[in-house]
Structure 1
Amino acid sequence: MAAFGTVFMPQMIQARFADNSWSESALVPSDKIELHAGAHVLHYSSTCFEGLKAFRHEDGSVYIFRMDANIARMKQSSKLLNLPDFDESMLEQMIKDIVKEYADETPAPPGSMYIRPTHIGTEAAIGKAAAPSMSSLLYVLLSPVGDYFAGGATALRVLLEEDGMRCAPHMGMVKSGGNYASALGPILQARSEHQADQILFCPGGDVQETGAANFILIDGDEIITKALDSSFLHGVTRNSILTIAKDLGMTVSERNFTVSELLERAAKPGTEAALSGTAAVLTSVGTLIHNDQEFKVGSGEPGEKVAKLRQALNDIQWGKSADTHGWLTKV
């Protein structure tokens, strides 16, 4: 089976901004884009993206999950990168149009259609290191994906990193390629030296996020996760899981907490931890690595409450339980 996110639909949808206006959107081949070698994005990283999914229900209909939240976050990223502004309705229609075009290709559960809107600065101006791109390209790619847990759900090994951080604090709320690139070196080092799957960045002992996901701790009926601030990405899956947890009667504590508290709580029987994100939904963390020591989270195995929360979210996405929060958009 192809690796997650490596198969693409043959067409994407795009719109270009130039001379202070947006073009009409159009379907074009997805295997190439027209870009000058001096394009702003290639030199000064004026790029942001989103990740969301469309799901096929039992009656064959296709629904996009939390499109409004992802569009709002992409609009925010574009603003923080000083890319040209766009109307939410324009990107919403582009997403609907391309998903509708390939609705028949949307896999049945546990698969889905992964949607990747991307916005890049295209102005050919290598003298603009300290100025924004005045032109841009907005496009939406589709990638049919299978079950992220096709090989069976296993608990992750996560290295706690107190010295470094995922990205510059003022870039935390931008879903930009540069942030992922900056975290890649430490992640590869953690895999090589500690056989870790991910790094949980905890600058100064403050538990924040990993290179590509938010972190939650479950102690009894309480979910603990870092309070939202401008230093890290506000995950749509994170928000969905916390909302479902409240629906299930759990206590949600969004607050700052330290590595010391994390390790103390993790040692308790029944404690669970997880990473949340669009691709994996909610993935159990079984081992924390700190100062060359390994600490099990609870039993060290995938947790029951993590599985329950993930299933509750999947059931809404797949149309198996009521969408009481209005998260689904039919195409």
Structure 2
Amino acid sequence: MNYEFKVTKTLSPKQKPDPDTLEFGKVFSDHMFVMNYTEGKGWHDGRVVPYAPITLDPAAAVLHYAQEMFEGLKAYKTKEGKILLFRPDMNAKRTTKTNDRICIPALDEELFVEAIKAVVRVDADWVPEKEGTSLYIRPFIIATEPFLGVRSAKEYLFMVILSPVGAYYKGGLAPTKIFVEDEYVRAAHGGTGYSKIGGNYVAGLKSQEKAHDKGYSQVLWLDGTERKYVEEIGTSNAFFVIDGEVITAPLEGTILPGITRDSVIHLLKDWGITVSERRLTIDEVYEAYDSGKLSEVFASGTAAVISPVGELCWKERKIQIHDGEIGELSQKLYDVLSGIQLGNVEDKFGWTVEV
């Protein structure tokens, strides 16, 4: 289907930020995509307009009953000047699943991708060129109908905003220190753990603050029922390399089906490396460390691509993984994935989409 969106250019373009001092999510581009939903009319009036504050009624459903969702992906500029998206169709598919879970009207997946392309094209000069930088893309949907009552809303707003971001690791790829959380719970079976909604993230803030106070950058979540099976690391999917096998938690409704996670699994299988999506206890992780079989731990996600873990702390016991250094597999995955995203490595899977 051919989607056409009205474009209104800003009359006051912003000054581009210094690519050497870019931070995550602090600066936003000149334009944004906006589209409305009205019951009986469906999604309508898609448009690219100047970036500006939006007006919400104080009774808007999103403010009271948290009916909202969001996604996250990036646009990259190649050496040849092309702008590439990485697997945006996967973000569209995940949006469909999230919307279904929290009763937001379905959004055509092709429309989702075309909306992103439209606003990125308009703000193409906001995609930074410096190595390690990218344009972060934040699509989101909020319930805007003004009413106080627990039901799905009849009016929504779909928006896409853009933010140029710097390299996740300022000094290069570096291992992180992770605190194992066994007090608070992020998600449980039957809940919204697999959905991309703000509620999942605010539920993790208390634990994250606790970890930071102890000197750790993120938390490793355990399952919400028995508090023993490893699940996610902060907002990323977790991988454990034990005796040559790469293990990650299965998609059973409590963890986010990460696009980078899926890409990692594809690459590992392509390389002939054994990868298993199965339940793994934190006891097994520590036993593997004690027996010398735990060689690497890393997280995968849009922001960092691959984030190697150098230390775990569980019940006050700290273990150092791979001598606190980056593992060979973590480094290879990072190099290949980031290389594909930037157009420097052959994209044999057809993952990149040119804007």
Which of the five TM-score ranges fits, normalised by the shorter chain?
A: over 0.9
Which of 121, 141, 145 pairs up with 2:143? Answer: 121
Aligned 8 A contact 2:243 2:293 in 1? no
Equivalent residue number for residue 223 of structure 1: 246
Deviates more, 1:274-283 or 1:85-94: 85-94
| Structure 1 residue aligned with 2:152 | 132
Matches within 5 A, 1:133-152: 133-152=153-172
Of 209, 216, 221 in structure 2, the residue corresponding to residue 196 of structure 1 is 216
* Distance in 2 (alpha carbons) for counterparts of 1:2 and 1:67: 24
Given candidates 171, 184, 201, the residue that maps to 2:192 is 171
2:48–2:118 Cα contact (<8 Å) kept: no
Name the count of aligned residue pairs: 328
Check the 8 A contact 2:229/2:282 in 1, yes or no.
yes
- What residue number does 1:7 align with? 27
Code of the aligned partner of 1:140: V
> Residues of 1 paired with 2:294 and 2:67: CA distance?
44
Match of residue 294 from structure 1: 318
C-alpha offsets along residues 166-186 of structure 1, whole Å, 9 cap, x if unaligned? 134311111101110010011
Structure 1 counterpart of 2:348, from 300, 320, 324: 324
- TM-score when normalising by structure 1: 0.95
Contact 1:54 1:62 in 2 (8 A): yes
5+ residue gaps, structure 1, are none
Q: Secondary structure at the match of 1:163?
A: coil
Structure 2 unmatched ranges of 5 or more: 1-20
Code of the residue aligned with 1:8 in structure 2: it is F
Of 105, 109, 127, which aligns to 1:106?
127
Structure 1 Cα separation of the partners of residues 289 and 158 of structure 2: 43
Match for 2:59: what amino acid?
G
- Does structure 2 retain, via aligned residues, the 8 Å contact 1:270–1:299? no
Report which stretch shifted further, 25-34 or 47-56: 25-34
Counterpart secondary structure, 1:315: helix
Q: Which residue of 2 aligns with 1:181?
A: 202
**Secondary structure of 1:253 counterpart:** strand
Asked if 1:29 corresponds to 2:53, the answer is no
Show CA shifts across 1:86-140 (max 9, x none). 11122111111011112222122321111110011111011x22x1111100000
The worse-fitting range, judged by mean Cα deviation, of 8-17 and 300-309 is 300-309
Question: Is the 1:271–1:298 Cα contact (8 Å) retained in structure 2?
Answer: yes
The answer to whether residue 87 in structure 2 is matched with residue 63 in structure 1 is no
**2:23, 2:166 within 8 Å by CA — same for their partners in 1?**
no
User: 1:270: Cα distance to partner?
Assistant: 6.8
Q: Does 1:243 align with 2:256?
A: no
Greater Cα shift, 145-154 or 75-84: 145-154
Query: Which one of 221, 229, 233 corresponds to residue 256 of structure 2?
Result: 233
Residues of 2 paired with 1:221 and 1:241: CA distance? Answer: 15
- Tell me how far apart the structure 2 counterparts of residues 50 and 143 of structure 1 sit (CA, whole Å): 13
Distance 1:58 1:266 in 2: 42
Indicate if the aligned counterparts of 1:18 and 1:135 stay in contact, CA closer than 8 A. Answer: yes
Given the two structures, how large is their TM-score scaled by the length of structure 2?
0.89
**1:38 maps to which residue?**
59
Residue 173 of structure 2 aligns to a residue whose secondary structure is coil
The farther-off stretch of 291-300 and 249-258 is: 291-300
- For 2:283 and 2:163, the matched residues in 1 are separated by 40
Report the CA distance between 1:269 and its aligned residue. Answer: 6.6
C-alpha contact (below 8 Å) 2:177/2:311 kept by paired residues: yes
Say which of 290, 299, 313 aligns to 2:337. 313
- Assess if the C-alpha contact under 8 Å between 2:238 and 2:248 holds in 1: yes
RMSD: 1.5
Contact 1:287 1:297 in 2 (8 A): yes
Partners of 1:39 and 1:208 in 2: how far apart? 34
Aligned AA for 1:121? A
Q: Is the 8 A contact 1:167 1:183 kept in 2?
A: no
Matched with 1:79 is 100
Stretch moving more, 26-35 or 8-17: 26-35
Query: What is residue 295 of structure 2 aligned with on the other side?
Result: 271
Identity %: 35
C-alpha contact (below 8 Å) 1:113/1:144 kept by paired residues: yes
Deviation at 1:245, TM superposition (A): 1.5
Q: Distance in 2 between matches of 1:2 and 1:111?
A: 8
CA shift, 1:307, in A, is 0.9
